[in-house]
């Protein structure tokens, strides 16, 4: 995506360590620098290795169009209609975009890390435009990182978690260079959704977190990682599909498009809610030395301000458009109960709260709480014991599109205040409440500027800011009977 010609007013040139960049200053008073490489292209000898420093360039490099995106395939079926994919060819896809008010100086910085199951997504998606943040006095940065096998393989002869290492490299770039764009490197807030939130949660747990950012916002994705043997199962399946050994040397011989095709084959039918083959962080290296949620509960990241939350009906993104909601029969439901150790007391509490609900709806609510809401409460409670500040939210507005309700990813158009852009209508429909976007976007900006999003921090009363129309409200201990039933 490039800046529309009618928005152009002039050029904005900055100089960073790698060279000079020529961006665009729009009539809206916002300057944009797009497709800036923060590391060397991860190709050739650099493939499956941690990001290396970019060699730089001579002269002035144009930064007025989106840069390449990481190799990936579009979402399948109806999910592809709801969550579009942007593919821009090129090797320098370890790039980032910057939006800033014209003549900015010393402003807070927000760094966005996109989601997509560690296999999809890009900073070039129109919905991730940072104009609203820049309008409100923030320098906004959107990051690309390596996806799927390129970023999260477990290979002999190669480091793990290189996609996470890419995010670290981008944050170090921000620390070193953002002052040239008017940002304050000591006032960086990272925020991400779904897989992006999982990556950032792992970094909050890292001992060096406070050298990279001051605050973090985790949306619909709690810190998670697997032992290498489990995280590497998908790599083994891809290797088998390709007829290759599970080694860096073997994978480096496979063109990226063939690797993506093999990934599609082995992940078919799986979802974050129902399971199946998927990519994950691997425990055991310097970036993820232990399970990140356990580390956070034990006190890691207590010096970092944290805002975290989820959507009321996360499961509906996968259960409703695919028809799965109505296909959960007795055997599937019983198998899920056994797998997740859902006892009679828990099930009774959920049934009592949802009279008349079918098995699909019950299973979706249980899965949402197991994967997101229960860990949020666990982490917020642990941080409270250590005196760390935590704010918790829940997004509850129900979209009429395909009966999605308050599904996974539904908060994004409101966080980005992008309801009038047309980028999000596939999720929200044509008449979402602008007042809710005003409230939610402003809360994120306030948190980045002050550490206070506008409601009381977590305490023994369990306050949760519920974002819904017509007016967001703070609710104490929502659905406490269900949460408490887990013991």
> Mind telling me the catalytic residues?
194, 314, 408
Q: Please report the sign of the dihedral spanned by the C-alpha atoms of residue 348, residue 354, residue 358, residue 360.
A: negative
Q: Which token pair is 28?
A: 């809206």
Chain CA centroid to CA 356, Å: 34
Determine phi and psi for 153, rounding to 5 degrees: -70, 155
Q: Which token pair is 24?
A: 């665009």
Residue among 447, 448, 404 nearest 427 (CA)? 404
**Residue 145 near residue 166, CB atoms below 8 Å:** yes
């Amino acid at each position: 995506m490039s800046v529309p010609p009618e928005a152009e007013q002039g050029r904005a040139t900055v100089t960073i360590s790698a060279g000079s960049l020529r961006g665009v200053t729009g009539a809206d008073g916002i300057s944009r620098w797009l497709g800036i490489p923060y590391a060397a292209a991860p190709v050739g000898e650099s493939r499956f290795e941690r990001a290396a420093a970019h060699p730089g360039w001579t002269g002035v490099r144009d930064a007025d169009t989106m840069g390449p995106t990481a190799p990936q395939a579009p979402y399948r079926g109806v999910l592809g209609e709801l969550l579009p994919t942007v593919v821009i060819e090129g090797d320098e896809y370890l790039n980032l975009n910057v939006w800033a008010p014209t003549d900015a100086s010393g402003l807070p910085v927000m760094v966005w890390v996109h989601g997509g199951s560690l296999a999809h997504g890009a900073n070039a998606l129109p919905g991730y435009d940072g104009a609203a943040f820049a309008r409100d006095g923030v320098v906004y940065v959107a990051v690309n990182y390596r996806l799927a096998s390129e970023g999260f393989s477990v290979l002999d002869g190669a480091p793990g978690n290189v996609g996470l290492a890419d995010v670290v490299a981008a944050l170090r770039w921000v620390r070193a260079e953002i002052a040239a764009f008017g940002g304050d490197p000591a006032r960086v807030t990272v925020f991400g959704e779904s897989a992006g939130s999982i990556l950032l949660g792992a970094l909050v747990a890292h001992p060096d977190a406070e050298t990279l950012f001051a605050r973090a916002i985790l949306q619909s994705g709690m810190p998670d990682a697997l032992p290498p043997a489990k995280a590497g199962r998908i790599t083994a399946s891809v290797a088998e599909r390709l007829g290759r050994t599970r080694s860096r040397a073997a994978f480096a011989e496979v063109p990226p498009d063939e690797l993506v095709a093999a990934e599609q084959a082995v992940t078919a039918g799986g979802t974050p809610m129902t399971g199946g083959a998927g990519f994950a962080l691997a425990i055991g290296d310097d970036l993820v030395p232990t399970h990140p949620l356990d580390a956070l509960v034990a006190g890691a990241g207590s010096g970092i301000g944290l805002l975290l939350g989820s959507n009321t009906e996360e499961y509906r993104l996968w259960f409703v458009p695919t028809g799965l909601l109505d296909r959960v029969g007795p055997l599937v439901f019983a198998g899920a109960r056994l797998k997740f150790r859902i006892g009679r007391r828990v099930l009774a509490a959920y049934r009592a709260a949802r009279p008349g609900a079918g098995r699909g709806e019950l299973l979706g609510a249980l899965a949402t709480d197991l994967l997101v809401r229960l860990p949020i409460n666990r982490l917020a409670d642990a941080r409270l014991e250590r005196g760390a500040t935590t704010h918790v939210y829940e997004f509850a507005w129900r979209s009429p599109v395909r009966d999605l309700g308050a599904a996974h990813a539904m908060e994004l158009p409101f966080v980005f205040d992008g309801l009038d852009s047309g980028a999000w209508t596939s999720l929200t429909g044509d008449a979402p409440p602008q007042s809710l976007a005003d409230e939610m976007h402003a809360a994120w900006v306030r948190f980045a500027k002050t550490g206070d999003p506008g409601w009381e921090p977590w305490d023994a009363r369990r306050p949760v800011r519920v974002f819904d129309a017509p007016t967001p409200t703070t609710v104490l201990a929502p659905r406490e009977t269900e949460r408490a039933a887990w013991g």
